[in-house]
Structure 1
Amino acid sequence: MKKYNLSKIMKRAWVLVKRFKETISSALKKAWREAKMKMAVIKGTEKQVKWANDIREKGIEICKEYEFSFAERRFKIEESAKWFIEEFKKLTYMNDKNKYDIITYLMMLNLEEEVKEEKEKAGEKGIQLKREREILRGYDKYAKINDEMEKEVYRLYRAASCLFFENEEGLKEWHDAKRITKELM
């Protein structure tokens, strides 16, 4: 019989209730689903799979440290070795010089996944402005890490507004910001 950390599941449910205004019932269902979710098997050549697994481990470790639950979930369900290698190969040799660029890139992935989930939940009516602000305010704590992160969070805010309004120009601006961050890594 598989054992689960009930405390962790309950804490995750309360985060969902507080942050996403879900009912405790739906939050517990999601928390249990996340706890039971197994990591997807990565597909690729033997070398790619080994490298992608290293990247996945480091990525999940950083996501847990900075509470990027949406990015962490993406790391667990992604099957393509190519995705890990193309997007996050710098994780395998992270140092003090590129650490905050990597954290910023993970923060952007987290925000992207969070907005995607919110849009699915909101359906056709779209995400309300109040909810958009709540989502972005959740990233304020990262600006306090140091001056470099403060600049990155500010840049993330400017680019994030484009995510909420899915027009072509806005999405281009988001992808440009993401590309620039990736190049800095």
Structure 2
Amino acid sequence: MTKKEIMKKAVALAKKMIGDWIARMALALKMVWAEVKEKMKKAFPALKGTAKQVAWANDIREKAVAALSEMVKEYAAKLDSGEYWSDKDHAYRSEKKTHLFEAFDALLNVEESKVWIELFGVNHAVSRQGVDRWTLVNSFAQDWLRAKFNRRRLADSFSKRMGVY
């Protein structure tokens, strides 16, 4: 669910409530975000490792997946529109999009705490201060897409385009 969809759902919920608009919106946003977080937790497999590793990896996974899912959706939409790799045909762009979703789904299904910590925790892509977008994108692109899936061109393109903000 995108932030735009979350906001639309919160506004619809707040309109059904009675009272001060700001209070209604605050409550509606809390309710919608709680629902989104619950859905995300149910979708993930349980992590394996020591208690400290699992706690750290869960925190990393929650923040990393929230940020990466938005970037993957944005990148896929730009592939569909032909904004990225415009010189290639639609079949090529569709293949790249499929590879990206396969790699992202594989990341979501990783059960080892160690993998999440090594990918996004040790390099401080995800920390208590938040998410470092550039480091997160490069870790996903270079250490996951390139190293695990041998998708060099896709990794370089994703890193170059999504790391800039």
Into which bin does the TM-score normalised by the smaller protein fall? 0.3 to 0.5
TM-score by length of 1: 0.39
TM-score when normalising by structure 2: 0.43
